[in-house]
């Protein structure tokens, strides 16, 4: 068994790493939580036109692509506009999830866009 005198640098290093992790977890900047839009409100932002209809709630086999990913890249608020005229809101900035589609909440698209 090694003596403590030979292993003390290892314990000091371990203590420093643990201390840094604790400090980092306490000082990490939190992202503000996005407030979801109310159902049937006007859609906000620019449309993302997709080539499929709004999925029916009972259609569990529909594989939803991540359409609002574009909002992460250009930082412009967006909504998804489906071929059947239905729209769902993307998550509020700084988020970029397909919030409306995932929660089956629609919004009213701007007819001019």
Question: Per-residue pLDDT tens for 27-86?
Answer: 766 666 656 666 678 899 999 998 888 875 555 555 667 889 999 899 999 999 998 889
Look at the pTM and tell me if it is higher than 0.75.
no
> What is the pLDDT at residue 103?
82
Residues forming a β-bridge with 107? 87
pLDDT score of 98 more than 80? yes
Count of domains observed in the chain: 1
In the chain, which residue ranges form alpha helices assigned H by DSSP? Answer: 4-27, 69-74, 99-103
Beta strands (DSSP E) in 25-96 are 46-49, 78-81, 87-89
99 closest CA partner among 86, 85, 108, 89: 89
- Does 21 reside within a domain? no
- Does 11 reside within a domain? no
CA distance 43 to 101: 13
- Does 23 reside within a domain? no
Residues forming a β-bridge with 19? none
- Does 101 reside within a domain? yes
47 Cβ contact list (under 8 Å, min separation 6): 78, 79, 80, 81, 87, 109, 110, 113
Residue 75, domain extent = 35-57+64-113
- Does 13 reside within a domain? no
CA distance 108 to 111: 9
């Amino acid at each position: 068994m090694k003596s403590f005198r030979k292993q003390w640098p290892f314990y000091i290093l371990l203590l420093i790493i643990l201390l840094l992790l604790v400090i980092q977890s306490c000082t990490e900047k939190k992202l503000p939580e996005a407030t979801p839009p109310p159902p049937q409100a006007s859609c906000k932002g620019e449309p993302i036109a997709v080539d499929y209809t709004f999925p029916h709630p009972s259609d569990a086999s529909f594989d939803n692509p991540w359409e609002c990913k574009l909002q992460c890249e250009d930082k412009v608020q967006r909504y998804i506009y489906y071929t059947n005229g239905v729209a769902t809101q993307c998550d509020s900035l700084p988020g970029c999830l397909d919030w409306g589609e995932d929660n089956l909440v629609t919004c009213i698209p701007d007819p001019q866009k």
